[in-house]
Amino acid sequence: MSLTWFKIPIAEFLKETRRMNLWARGAYITLLADYYENGPPTSNDIDNITGDTDVSMDVFGGLFELRDGRWHHARADRDIAERVKLTQRSVANGSKGGRKPRGHAIVEETSSALFAEVSQMMKQPEPQAGDLDDYDDDGDDLTSAPKVQTSTSYIGKPPPAAPAPEPIEADEEAEDNFTPIPKDFTLDGAEVSRCLAAGATSTELAAWFDEFKSGHDERGTLSSDWSGAWQARFRGKMQTKPVKGRARVEVSRRA
């Protein structure tokens, strides 16, 4: 599977390349970029990718392992496998019509329960005259009272049965608008300027956006408005961001 982007955990990258020189670090990044696009390289591919015909894989500190004639990278293989599962899950959701709106299931369940309750009430047998209790609510014996002919027949026609509720059809057009986060989803210049003007630093903005995009990409989240989803995430981050440099004000309790 060819991927258009990949993430590099900063702490893990610094740990991996701590004993590499600048050439080895550049070659390592170049190999990873080709790895995510074309898969594990062969020894001949290593020379073509790095542009050096005499590359020793020892300079990469054992990060690559030779298996079946190809040099494998553990983290890259794991990332590619997870991305394949995410793609397959998104395709499966799309073949089923996408994720249904949350309110659809609640309304459908409530309608089904109400219909079942009404149907059960209509199936109950009518009470007969002999089923009446011989005692009233005050405990008085009614056996000596004159017998009154009772009847449970309806005056006129019996009430019609409650009609079955019509099934609620999902809005197919609305469901089609729910899509996974696009691979090329980025912040334009206007959005970056707006976020910086709101008080975020460039470092915070980059970290928050990477967390937002990679998190939804890994979970396979579906949304109809990804720009709005990002703006909501940004507002939440700004609300929880600690305020630095604010002077503490002491309020006296004396009048």
Q: Which helix (H) or strand (E) holds 70?
A: strand 70-73
**How far is 115 from 122, CA to CA, in rounded Å?**
11
CB 212 within 8 A of CB 230: yes
Q: Choose between 8 and 170: higher pLDDT.
A: 8
Q: In the chain, which segments carry CATH 1.10.10?
A: 10-94
> Cα separation of 33 and 224, whole Å?
31
| 75 or 4: which leads in pLDDT | 75
| CB neighbour list of residue 98: distance below 8 Å, 6 or more residues apart | 175, 176, 178, 179, 222
- Encoding tokens for residue 93? 């959701």
Nearest to 169 by CA among 100, 86, 119: 100
Fold of the domain built from segment(s) 10-94: Arc Repressor Mutant, subunit A (1.10.10)
Continuous segment of H or E residues that includes residue 172: helix 172-176
How much is the pLDDT for 141? 53
pLDDT of the residue at 101:
57
Query: For residue 54, is pLDDT > 70?
Result: yes
Strand partners, 72: 65
Given a cut of 90, is residue 165 above it in pLDDT?
Answer: no
